[in-house]
Structure 1
Amino acid sequence: MYLRLRVVAAALAIAVLAGGCGSADDWSRPHPQPTPIGALREGFVDPAAPPSPEATITPRSGSWDDVRPPEGYRVVLLTAGDSAETKTLATAVREWAAAEKVSLKTVTADAPAQYVPRISDAIKLSPDLIVTAGNALVDPMALVTASHLDQQFLVLGAELAEPTANVTAATWPGASYRGEGLGTSTGYDPKSFTPARATTAIRAGTAAVLTTHTGIVIQLP
């Protein structure tokens, strides 16, 4: 009897340890609706005239600085391609996630045939937000996002031509890719994808999503 009790106690101890290890990354557990920490400053949007769907806003610089995600905010970074622009955006997202204690998973699409399946894979993870980096994802996202209106997306350095309310974009002069045959305009400038702009884009974009200003394009300096 004594030996049996010791075995049960040992099993319970192992179960507790197993449950504690990496629990912050266990996305299968119930997760509350994320609430932003802080509030937008004056100049991000006009509270008396909030932006309409598909509108482009030009928020005052730094008006998003006081908004941060709650610890454990679940984000999937979805990337495609290995261009310098994509790498710069992905690095900014990873550094932001580490600084804000965001729970980050990465899904990578290595070939055109994988774009739609990888978007679906990201959705199946049920994150609070899917952040995309890579122009190649724009057209595939236009095919998928309208069918998943309960999933929020943030597109960095590009935008969908006709985004639904769950797709927000953060762009700047030189980041002008829109897809759907519109492709890369003459205003597209790979050199504009600097670490500073990429960092601003992820911070301003997530501030918009967290405060429910979604389905818009955020035009940054």
Structure 2
Amino acid sequence: MRPVLRTIATLAVAATLVTGCGSGDDWSRPRPGGSAVGTLGPGFVPPSFSPTPESTLTPRPGSWEGVHPSKGYRVVLLTSGTDAATGALVKAVGNWAEEEGADLRTVVADHPSDLVPAITRALDLTPDLIISAGNDLVDPLALVSASHLAQHFLVVGAELAEPTANVTAVGWPGASFRGEGLGASSAYDPGSFTAERCASAVRAGVAAVLGELTGIVIRLDA
């Protein structure tokens, strides 16, 4: 092979290798579902707790820190809204993904008519987990998630009124949106969506999903 052709071939092979690994993965190839690395700490689950849909769990602060996703864990951040609370959640998910080496994709619903289509786009990616951020998505998720029981959902800073076993939610004092026309209660406080609380909510919620404690509502005390 002539030197120029050999150089071109070498560059082509290198480009193929870069595209096919790490964050360049286009998710077109099937892979085993993401798994947990580590275990939940003492105080995350009370001895008598039964993880049935809508049951509430208040874990000990920091008891989720020992659980991490396997590298390349596929996550879709599904978001809608430009308010500060939603923005804080979006940032927390992005920071978590970067720290954990998760493979994150983002799907944005930027119009009320796009809420259900956005959920469908997220489902089409077949991730290990879909994390929802934004109150506008609560009712559409209640409509769609029950028909896709094999897909795990994590709702952060809100909860579905009647979740199925594949939908886990994380809330705290000040995060009280439930949808179904109920809107936000008088206790809803956008200022409660601090960077620290949002970060804890994401980590606690993902730890619960990885620990197979799904369909529950996690309440953070602080």
Which TM class, normalised by the smaller chain length?
A: over 0.9
Match of 1:20 among 18, 21, 29: 18
Contact 2:171 2:217 in 1 (8 A): yes
Contact 2:153 2:168 in 1 (8 A): yes
The equivalent of 1:165 in structure 2 is 165
Superposed CA offset, 1:9-31 (max 9, x none): 96476245313335223211221
Contact 1:129 1:153 in 2 (8 A): yes
CA 1:17–1:191 in structure 2 vs 1: closer, same or farther (change >3 Å)?
Answer: same
Instruction: Measure the CA separation in 1 of the matches of 2:11 and 2:189.
Output: 57
- Give SS of 1:154's match: strand
Alignment of 1:1-221 (within 5 A): 11=9, 14-15=12-13, 17-25=15-23, 26=25, 27-47=27-47, 49-221=49-221
CA 1:113–1:7 in structure 2 vs 1: closer, same or farther (change >3 Å)?
Answer: same
Deviation of 1:116 after TM superposition, in Å, equals 0.2
Instruction: Measure the CA separation in 2 of the matches of 1:32 and 1:181.
Output: 39
Instruction: Measure the CA separation in 1 of the matches of 2:49 and 2:194.
Output: 32
Aligned residues: 219
Following TM superposition, where does structure 1 have runs of at least 4 consecutive aligned residues deviating by more than 4 angstroms?
6-13
User: What TM-score do the two structures reach when normalised by structure 2?
Assistant: 0.92
Instruction: Measure the CA separation in 1 of the matches of 2:173 and 2:48.
Output: 27
User: What TM-score do the two structures reach when normalised by structure 1?
Assistant: 0.93
Instruction: Measure the CA separation in 2 of the matches of 1:86 and 1:35.
Output: 27
Instruction: Measure the CA separation in 2 of the matches of 1:68 and 1:152.
Output: 16
| RMSD, aligned α-carbons | 1.9
Deviation of 1:103 after TM superposition, in Å, equals 0.5
Aligned AA for 1:173?
A: P
Deviation of 1:50 after TM superposition, in Å, equals 2.9
Superposed CA offset, 1:127-172 (max 9, x none): 1000011000000001100011111000000000000011000100
Superposed CA offset, 1:52-78 (max 9, x none): 221011111111110011111100011
Instruction: Measure the CA separation in 2 of the matches of 1:7 and 1:50.
Output: 65
Aligned AA for 2:123?
A: I
Unaligned segments of structure 2, at least 5 residues? none
Identity, in percent, stands at 56
Instruction: Measure the CA separation in 1 of the matches of 2:150 and 2:15.
Output: 34
Superposed CA offset, 1:76-128 (max 9, x none): 01110100000000000001111111100111011100000000000000110
- Give SS of 2:140's match: helix
Contact 1:169 1:217 in 2 (8 A): yes
Deviation of 1:46 after TM superposition, in Å, equals 3.1
